């Protein structure tokens, strides 16, 4: 048994004391480690770190002795050396869309703050911070070492509201993935219309239009999203054009505690689906037209499952003020297909 242990130790020592790679010999990056050796890319699907590898060799370590958050027994938590890059780097890549922080035990922290920009009307906006550390594993045997620890700390902060390009939305259920340069959590957000309360039968809008007061059931859903977050609708409204910021007319179905009498919010902020229903109506400006045409928009964000309840409007207190039409921006909305409504009445009271 002692012989086996000794062999294992010798293998480790040989592995650690391997010669400096040719790519690092004479290279300007072959120096003592610095915090600036690491570049962090906060993508929407993955976080990536590129760490100069020559300073790691300079400190008498190598890629097999650098690990995420001390998870030495998990292969996915080690980086991959790229000696063809100039300068050579050690690359780490892991998904951020994980409620547990991932198998490499990255820390996920929810940060509360005041709403700004498009969410300036709201008193509580949440961000999520993903952080961790890449550190060296000292293979020295005994009670002392002559190696300095190499430590690289990283973090990325993401807003939990969606930033979506509305101009790409043209039909019900169209899928949009958030772009990397938006710095938002990756997910696919869809708005689907149904004609039944079980949300199983997609609504088919005829060219001649729906009857007035036809019930329309709406689902706004996030997919490819960690179970740590739910979908929260702050406002849903209708306009006569697909781009709400260009529309001179709008009608709120609900915003905060203010709600159209024929609109019923069924589920909001409780799961990754938000559900509500409303009755088909016509815009007065379309009285001289056989068919009234409009589009439904919902301003949507994410909320942490533990705090969603606190973010919902408290309707016994001061209500959130309505936004003026010019405040509505297409890049924070999800939009439905065109909805057409005819003169005809469904016959319901």
Provide DSSP, 49-76: EEEESHHHHHTT--GGGEEETT-TT-GG
| Number of structural domains the chain divides into | 2
pLDDT at 315 over 70: no
Average pLDDT over residues 96-112: 67
Segment of 81-90, 137-146, 331-340 carrying the highest mean pLDDT: 81-90
Are 186 and 330 found together in one domain? Answer: yes
Q: What is the mean pLDDT of the chain?
A: 76
- Higher pLDDT, residue 117 or 288: 288
pLDDT value at residue 10 = 36
Domain end marker among 124, 159, 194: 159
Q: Which of 157, 100, 106 is nearest to 133 (CA)?
A: 106
Q: What is the residue range of 102's domain? A: 16-159
**What sign results for the dihedral spanned by CA atoms 105, 110, 116, 117?**
positive
Are 147 and 175 found together in one domain? Answer: no
Are 152 and 171 found together in one domain? Answer: no
pLDDT value at residue 37 = 93
pLDDT value at residue 306 = 79
In a domain, 289, yes or no: yes
In a domain, 101, yes or no: yes
Per mean pLDDT, which range of 141-150, 208-217, 220-229, 273-282 is the poorest? 220-229
> Which CATH number characterizes residue 79's domain?
2.60.40.3210
In a domain, 10, yes or no: no
pLDDT tens digit string along 39-70?
998 776 678 899 999 999 999 999 999 999 99
pLDDT value at residue 247 = 67
Domain end marker among 143, 159, 175: 159
Are 79 and 203 found together in one domain? Answer: no
Are 152 and 178 found together in one domain? Answer: no
pLDDT tens digit string along 6-33?
333 433 443 445 579 999 999 999 999 9
Are 113 and 191 found together in one domain? Answer: no
Are 321 and 174 found together in one domain? Answer: yes
Maximal C-alpha separation, the chain = 95
Are 171 and 155 found together in one domain? Answer: no
What percent of the chain is modeled with pLDDT above 90?
Answer: 41
Are 216 and 279 found together in one domain? Answer: yes
pLDDT value at residue 100 = 42
In a domain, 7, yes or no: no
Residues 51, 62: contact at Cβ < 8 Å? no
Q: Which of 52, 149, 131, 55 is nearest to 94 (CA)?
A: 131
Six-digit token pair at 33?
Answer: 């480690």
Q: Which of 33, 23, 19, 40 is nearest to 82 (CA)?
A: 23
> Which CATH number characterizes residue 338's domain?
2.60.40.4100
Domain end marker among 159, 189, 205: 159
Quick check: helix, strand or coil at residue 344?
A: strand
Cα separation, 244 vs 83, in Å, equals 51
Are 138 and 173 found together in one domain? Answer: no
Are 148 and 297 found together in one domain? Answer: no
Paired sense of beta strands 291-304 and 339-345, if any: antiparallel
Are 91 and 51 found together in one domain? Answer: yes
In a domain, 11, yes or no: no
């Amino acid at each position: 048994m002692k012989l086996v242990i000794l062999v294992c130790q010798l293998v480790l020592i040989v592995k650690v004391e391997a010669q400096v790679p040719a790519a690092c010999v004479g290279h300007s990056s072959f120096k003592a480690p610095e915090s600036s050796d690491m570049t962090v890319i906060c993508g929407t699907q993955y976080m990536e770190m590129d760490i100069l590898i020559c300073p790691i060799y300079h400190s008498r370590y190598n890629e097999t002795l650098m690990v995420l958050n001390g998870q030495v027994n998990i292969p996915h938590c080690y980086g991959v050396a790229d000696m063809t890059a100039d300068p050579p780097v050690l690359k780490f890549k892991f998904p951020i869309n994980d409620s547990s922080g991932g198998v490499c035990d990255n820390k996920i922290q929810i940060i509360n703050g005041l709403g700004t920009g498009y969410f300036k009307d709201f008193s509580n906006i949440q961000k999520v911070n993903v952080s961790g550390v890449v550190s060296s594993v000292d293979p020295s045997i005994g009670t002392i070492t002559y190696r300095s620890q190499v430590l690289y700390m990283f973090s990325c902060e993401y807003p939990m509201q969606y930033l979506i390009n509305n101009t790409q939305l043209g039909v019900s259920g169209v899928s949009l993935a958030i772009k990397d340069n938006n710095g938002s959590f990756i997910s696919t957000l869809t708005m689907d219309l149904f004609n039944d309360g079980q949300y199983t039968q997609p609504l088919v809008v005829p060219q001649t239009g729906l009857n007035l007061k036809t019930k329309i059931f709406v689902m706004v859903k996030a997919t490819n999203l960690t179970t740590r977050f739910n979908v929260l609708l702050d406002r849903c409204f209708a306009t006569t054009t697909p781009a709400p910021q260009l529309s001179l007319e709008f009608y709120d179905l609900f915003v905060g505690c203010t709600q159209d009498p024929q609109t019923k919010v069924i589920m909001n902020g409780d799961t990754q689906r938000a559900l509500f229903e409303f009755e088909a109506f016509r815009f007065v400006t379309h009285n001289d037209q056989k068919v009234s045409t409009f589009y439904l928009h919902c301003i949507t964000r994410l909320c942490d499952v533990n705090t969603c309840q606190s973010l919902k409007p408290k309707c016994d207190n001061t209500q959130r003020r309505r936004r003026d039409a010019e405040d509505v921006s297409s890049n924070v909305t999800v939009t439905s297909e065109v909805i057409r409504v005819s003169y005809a009445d469904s016959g319901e009271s």
